[in-house]
Chain A
């Protein structure tokens, strides 16, 4: 059958290209490098070459897959990594719904999963499945508490919310309501928009008409800009808060003068010059940013650092896990999970991790800084 030959050949080629080297620890990475949340996934995928190459004397091999922001593809990618490539742990996926869809599968197969997603629902409430999941970002609730505390301190009584029509906006609407309720602030407006909307005038007017003392914008990446510039344009004069989704250079560039005075919570990565040198995270962040910039010519968004920290967590856990078994065995994976859970004072690019059986996000407020924008730059809020 001559007609079959090219097909067979290409299949052989495919096998040759994907069949991994035999030695060492295998880590799968699943990111959304295309599709609607590509702006989160691309810096994460780009960070993979910067991850630790060895740990405990074993080489680490990374197998990186793109789920195109689609939860179905995330499940397929996880199954491929676990069943086919027999990875020892997985970093990813980028999106919260994508993560929720694979937790069950990761747990059933006993594969530790390091999810760089914001939504706390990936690790809370802790149960038999979620004990396999570790989160390398601050819990959204923690960030919200910090922002709301600042609101209280500055006399804010009412707050409006505008967020994206996706999982990110959903989560933030919820954590804001919880945090605000606890601190006695009323949420007087809740508006939504989609990233591709060309005008947010109507949402801006609606919020302004309720005259809240402050507005929180819950949107990832550059989609956080348009709500804020619109609010300024329609003459809103209150305080404007952003989530760590806005913590990227792009925000300053797109927003220009209109985002001056914004208050946001984010990791110290953005204000390295103002972080004292004794802060251990500073060196890691400086090195990471320099390496990333060298490779891609741009500075990474903080989403990328979430993946870097996942790699650092694994780097520290692998030597302990090796005592439990060889890479590729269930014992090794279980050991990896236990070691990750026992992480103490690990310094990442975004702060210091301390895991406990109850808390798999491991960040406390120390990893977070309140920032503001002035003179076209992020600065620590003094």
Chain B
């Protein structure tokens, strides 16, 4: 029974039943409103994916709706002879209009994405405002699009022998599309590609270090959001049977974002709630506000503007977030997972004693400051090397260069005998280098299991389309099984379904280690793994690291906890003021006068 409750089939059945009930209860005008809500939901759903999940935003979604609507209108009304060559084949076909809209959207979104998505966060919204404006004028000035007067007399939609000419029939088509889009989005989010998109929230550095191509993850979210808008546009054209430039301007783009924020920008139901609340509220405000203020004017925009400010200041998760807090926790349970068949392929491991990662006379200058000066070290398969030094000694800088996040000013880093100069963190991750972060980078809203599964990203193959259509389940089960296995190795096997944000700080570090292990690495870089752990946890961690070492893993760790390091490391490198001051076994380091001076001298 419980499993039944959570299954998507029951979800769809419930949604269809609800829709059927609504269609019976609503008046024709309310059906029109419901259709408007459905059309907006589709576009806003894309924004939830883009803004709430991937952490980017676009004010240009209305322009994509316009691309979809104009494609449909042109194909439906312009005779084949007047269409540009190549498009004449599609003339008169509604599906042809849809196809044209989707293709045009992909082209436009790809160009826009290519120039803005590599840049830091605020360029995309600014770019989309500008592009939204240009498209408004392009729609209005193009002869084929009927100028600012628009395209009227779009015939009713005939599809597969059915005619969709009134609000009641379009209601099913529109809400069918919404259900489909919700399903596809939910499928996407619950997959390898979806985790890649969700991992953007943990910072690009983390995602890239897990082997995620952040640019393509962003592009995926941007394209999917744009395509949803284009489909909404196609439906819009056949609902209104008239298309003009005005509803596709920047103002409409802003409205869509407001709907997402009000509904709840980081939850899929937020899209429908937001669209619904805004559409209904706008109707209502139009009736009520003039009565309250006794005169007419633009009160709605003021009310909406201020409402957004209050929502962002007080409850950034919107209505859906507030509702989710009301629902008792026990109603939320993880979806039943398919049992994994077979295991993920393992990597070829270097032979024991083979040097895996090597730094050769690395110097890194920041302006006049020398952070690392001629530092050399190497770590071999089946060895634990510890890097220690006082605060500000240059450990983190070195760590970043070893993982290709930063480039040395001179000297070189070799991974598996190859210079890593010019390689990205992503390609190192794909080749078996895994790391954790000093400042933990987990996605707080994602479950512990999913967080760990991000690490296994490079071990999967399935793409966006496969995940949307649920063709990835076998591989997905193996990825999750691997993540679960690594979590149980670090002692979190019973906390898989908990949101990462609700774990204790020390456990965050363990999740990071499990995430790193899930990538099946041959070298593990751990940045202060024991910080915040309790004594028993430290002991368990030490046991785990020894076991990994026995399996042939090369481990480099930066750590402040001397007892932990001394008991664990095979060799220790000590740096201070960016220079190596000592290297050797724990016993040698313990008695090294330079080390004692560096640590104790600094303290007095």
Contacts and interface: CB of A to CB of B under 8 A. Distances in A.
A76 interface: yes
A96 B296 contact: no
Interface of B: 27-29, 32-33, 36, 137, 140-141, 147-150, 152-153, 167, 236, 240-242, 244-247, 251-252, 283-284, 286-288, 291, 296-298, 300-301
Q: Is the interface of B mostly helix, strand, loop or mixed?
A: helix
B149 A83 contact: no
B33, B241, B283, B291 interface centre (most CB from chain A within 10 Å): B283
A79 B32 contact: yes
Interface in A10-44: 10-11, 13-14, 17-18, 33-36, 38, 42
A170 B147 contact: yes
Contacts of B240: 71-72, 75, 101
Contacts, number: 109
A34 B33 contact: no
Contact of B150 (A14, A35, A101): A101
A47 B603 CA distance: 83
Interface of A: 10-11, 13-14, 17-18, 33-36, 38, 42, 45-46, 64-66, 68-72, 75-76, 79-80, 82-84, 95-98, 100-104, 119, 121, 165-167, 169-171, 192, 194
Which of A11, A76, A104, A194 has the most C-beta atoms of chain B within 10 angstroms of its own C-beta?
Answer: A76
B32 A100 contact: no
Contacts of B246: 36, 69-71, 95, 97-98
B147 A167 contact: yes
A192 B148 CA distance: 12
Given A72-B36, A98-B246, A104-B152, 4 more contacts: A72-B240, A76-B33, A79-B29, A166-B148
8 contacts: A18-B287, A71-B240, A72-B36, A76-B283, A82-B29, A103-B152, A167-B244, A171-B149
Task: Report the 7 A-B pairs with minimum CB-CB distance, sorted nearest first.
Answer: A83-B29, A101-B242, A97-B244, A34-B298, A167-B148, A170-B147, A84-B29
B244 A170 contact: no
A202 to B, nearest CB: 16
Given A76-B32, A76-B33, A83-B28, A170 B287 contact: no
Nearest to B279: A76
A228 to B, nearest CB: 22
A233 B153 CA distance: 44
Contact of B287 (A14, A35, A72, A169): A14
Contact of A71 (B27, B150, B297, B298): B150
Contacts of B28: 79, 83
Given A17-B288, A97-B148, A97-B244, A80 B283 contact: yes
Contacts of A192: 141
Contacts of A167: 147-150, 244
B297 A104 contact: no
Nearest to A104: B241
B153 A104 contact: yes
Contacts of A38: 298
B150 A66 contact: no
A57 to B, nearest CB: 29
